Amino acid sequence: MALKIAILASGSGTNAQSMIDKAAQGVLDVDIRLIAGNRPGARVFERAAKAGIPHVCIDHKAFADRESFDREMVAVIRAAGAEYVVLAGYMRLLTGTFLQAFPGRVINIHPAILPSFPGAHGGPDAQAYGVKITGCTVHFVEELVDSGPVIIQAAVPANAGEELDELMDRIHPLEHRIYPQALQWLAEGRLRVEGRQVFLAPAGRKTVTPDGPWLVWPPLEEGF
């Protein structure tokens, strides 16, 4: 049975698009019940409309506080029948109210190798620090920012003096691969969380050989 998900996004929605595409290709076994966000006019809603996916914008500015906004978001997600919440460039800190509604069922992607450089500017912060390796992380969400158990990480080289866009052009394509992969593992029931450790059950599927200067662990599997 397909994993029923709601995708939350605030911007252009490129990670959401990667999930839409993989689902359409029959590679990713998810049922995208809803795409929701908080910024009117965000391009992610155009992507949802083009794919025929239900979508809604709930403007956070119309609410008195984070708790009331999150209660409304929880209500629309539940009404859509989603079981997991997938954060894809969602620029809102989640309250305990939200996380308690979906315990252990909220997933996020971060543009750095956690636990280094958490927060809204992970990519720029890593570059400014002068790291030689950076990347992206898919993880379960806890109340502390970017602190939950790690599912999968990708690493790429970072070069002194390069523009931030050059670095992010190496990171983003891997985001679009590791996030759907993590969701597929969830859909297959292959992930088990014990404390901070996330265990992946084997499936006997071929893994992908890197075709460039990147490393993903656990390894990507066929189709991703």
What are the sequence ranges of the domains in the chain? 1-103, 109-223
Residue 207 pLDDT greater than 90, yes or no: yes
The pLDDT of residue 204 is 86
Residue 47 confidence class, pLDDT cut points 50, 70, 90: very high
Feature table: binding site for (6R)-10-formyltetrahydrofolate: 66, 91-94, 108
Residue 209 pLDDT greater than 90, yes or no: yes
| Active-site entry in 55, 60, 110, 176 | 110
Q: Is 121 a catalytic residue?
A: no
Feature table: binding site: 13-15, 66, 91-94, 108
Are the CB atoms for 35 and 48 separated by under 8 Å?
yes
Q: Which CATH number fits domain 109-223: 1.10.8.60, 3.40.1000.10, 3.40.47.10, 3.40.50.170?
A: 3.40.50.170
Residue 182 confidence class, pLDDT cut points 50, 70, 90: very high
Provide the b/e sequence for 145-183 (b: ≥16 CB within 10 Å): ebebbbbbbbbbebeeeeeeeebbebbbbbbbbbbbbbb
Q: Which CATH number fits domain 1-103: 3.50.50.60, 3.40.50.10470, 3.40.50.170, 3.30.70.20?
A: 3.40.50.170
Reported residue count of the chain is 224
Residue 150 pLDDT greater than 90, yes or no: yes
The pLDDT of residue 107 is 98
The pLDDT of residue 1 is 80
Cis, peptide link before residue 115, omega less than 30° from 0: yes
Residue 89 confidence class, pLDDT cut points 50, 70, 90: very high
**Is the backbone of residue 189 left (phi > 0), alpha (psi -120 to 50) or beta?**
left
Q: What pTM value is reported for the model?
A: 0.97
pLDDT digits (tens, 9 = 90+) for 213-223: 999 999 999 99
pLDDT digits (tens, 9 = 90+) for 7-37: 999 999 999 999 999 999 999 999 999 999 9
Average pLDDT over residues 70-91: 97
Cis, peptide link before residue 157, omega less than 30° from 0: no
The pLDDT of residue 12 is 95
The pLDDT of residue 164 is 96
Cα 131 to Cα 142: distance, rounded to the nearest angstrom: 26
pLDDT digits (tens, 9 = 90+) for 113-135: 999 999 999 999 999 999 999 99
